[in-house]
Structure 1
């Protein structure tokens, strides 16, 4: 049975894609606690603009956005070759494993710390390793909940929009279904995570939620456009790996599911 699995290229490809999809999502969650200034990356001063009456806005983003766009690229690839059910399956698996990871983070944070370890990095500017560890991994429960719900819902939206566009276009216009599904699902993702984490969890005003949502979404929208050629490159490589006939049969079967 194992030999049969490892000799089947579509199965091996699906396992590899699933592993990368889950690892990418988990890494994005882990590094999401750090914020960075997009303007500073390009040597620019903060934009300092206004939306919905909120002033002083700029492109201060979570480091998680560096990886999340890749999740939607992978979703579109899986949808193209394996269909909606496969995307839903790997999305649910990812959410479950991310939830498991956060439970383990919680256990690790509350495990009794060694006195030696707590003060082991004082000469490097870290006076309390336990406090530092908890600060890095101890995201608020509202943020965790918002992130997981947003991820799962946006994935399902991405699958739905992608499939509807493919029903209309067939195997043509890959850019339209890939980019179209991503720009819709990213808007849903941006709103849900802010609504749960900061409207429900921190009582932000609707104006602030919408303003920050649009700032984050504008970045994601641009990234969706920029990453569109990656879909074509991935399809080219996958078609070469699977063989044209196998790849065409998989795409046809995926569209019918």
Structure 2
């Protein structure tokens, strides 16, 4: 049975994609505590523009947004070849493992630190390693909940819109359904996390302004990564073979033609 699974190209491919999807999501959540300046990254001065009466806004983003666009690329590719049920399954798996990781972070924070470790990095300007550890891994609970809820809802929205567009376009124009589903789901993602995490903390005008700034970046990345989706689709078709890829896409759409099941031992 195991040998048959490992020889089956669609199964091997899904295992690899799923592992990367979960790992990428967990890394994005973990590095999301750092805020960086997009303008400074390109050697520019902060934009300092105004929205909804809020001045001094700039493209200050969490490092997590560097990786999140890849999640939506993977979602669209899995949707194309494996269907919405598989997307939902790997999304729930990712959320479960991210929740587990944050639980372990909080348990690690609560463990008593060794005395020698506390001041082990004073030469690097870190007076207390426990304080630094807490600051990095101890994200606010509302931010964690907001991020997970936003991730799940935006994934479901992405899947829904992707298939609505695919029913109209058929197997053609993957760039249209991939980009269209992503630009809508990213808007949902941007505002859900902000309102859950910061409602009552920041004025709603500021939340709206920050959301637009974040969405501008995500929208741009959706356009930039569109050729990547087309390229990955072609590479997957080449790896799987045209006939297998065609059957997978039909099965993903709920049509009758599907792959022959993997034979089991005995």
Question: Do these two structures clear the TM 0.5 threshold for a shared fold by scoring above it?
Answer: yes
In the aligned structure 2, how far is the partner of 1:19 from the partner of 1:228?
Answer: 22
In the aligned structure 2, how far is the partner of 1:179 from the partner of 1:213?
Answer: 19
Q: What TM-score, normalized by structure 1, do the two folds share?
A: 0.98
Which SS does the other structure have where 1:56 is aligned? strand
State the number of aligned residues: 255
Residue 38 of structure 1 corresponds to which residue in structure 2? 38
5+ residue gaps, structure 1:
none
Residue 160 of structure 1 corresponds to which residue in structure 2? 160
Residue 79 of structure 1 corresponds to which residue in structure 2? 79
In the aligned structure 2, how far is the partner of 1:175 from the partner of 1:233?
Answer: 10
In the aligned structure 2, how far is the partner of 1:244 from the partner of 1:74?
Answer: 20
* Matches for 1:241-252 after TM superposition, within 5 Å: 241-252=239-250
Residue 224 of structure 1 corresponds to which residue in structure 2? 222
What displacement does 1:203 show?
2.5
Which SS does the other structure have where 1:50 is aligned? strand
Residue 134 of structure 2 corresponds to which residue in structure 1? 134
Q: Say which of 190, 197, 212 aligns to 2:210.
A: 212
Q: What TM-score, normalized by structure 2, do the two folds share?
A: 0.95
What displacement does 1:190 show?
0.1
In the aligned structure 2, how far is the partner of 1:34 from the partner of 1:22?
Answer: 20
Which SS does the other structure have where 1:133 is aligned? helix
In the aligned structure 1, how far is the partner of 2:129 from the partner of 2:209?
Answer: 36
Residue deviations 1:190-244 (CA, integer Å, cap 9, x gap):
0000000001xx5322111111101100100000000000001111111111111
5+ residue gaps, structure 2:
256-266
Q: Say which of 222, 236, 239 aligns to 2:237.
A: 239
Alignment pair present for 1:61 and 2:56: no
What displacement does 1:256 show?
1.9
In the aligned structure 2, how far is the partner of 1:173 from the partner of 1:244?
Answer: 17
Residue 196 of structure 2 corresponds to which residue in structure 1? 196
Which SS does the other structure have where 1:256 is aligned? coil
Residue 107 of structure 1 corresponds to which residue in structure 2? 107
Residue deviations 1:67-119 (CA, integer Å, cap 9, x gap):
00000000000000000000000000000000000000000011010001111
In the aligned structure 2, how far is the partner of 1:220 from the partner of 1:99?
Answer: 24
Residue deviations 1:131-171 (CA, integer Å, cap 9, x gap):
11111001000000000000000000000000000001001
In the aligned structure 2, how far is the partner of 1:192 from the partner of 1:57?
Answer: 20
Aligned CA-pair RMSD = 0.8
Which SS does the other structure have where 1:36 is aligned? strand
In the aligned structure 2, how far is the partner of 1:238 from the partner of 1:148?
Answer: 29
More helix by share: 1
In the aligned structure 2, how far is the partner of 1:5 from the partner of 1:71?
Answer: 25
Which SS does the other structure have where 2:61 is aligned? strand
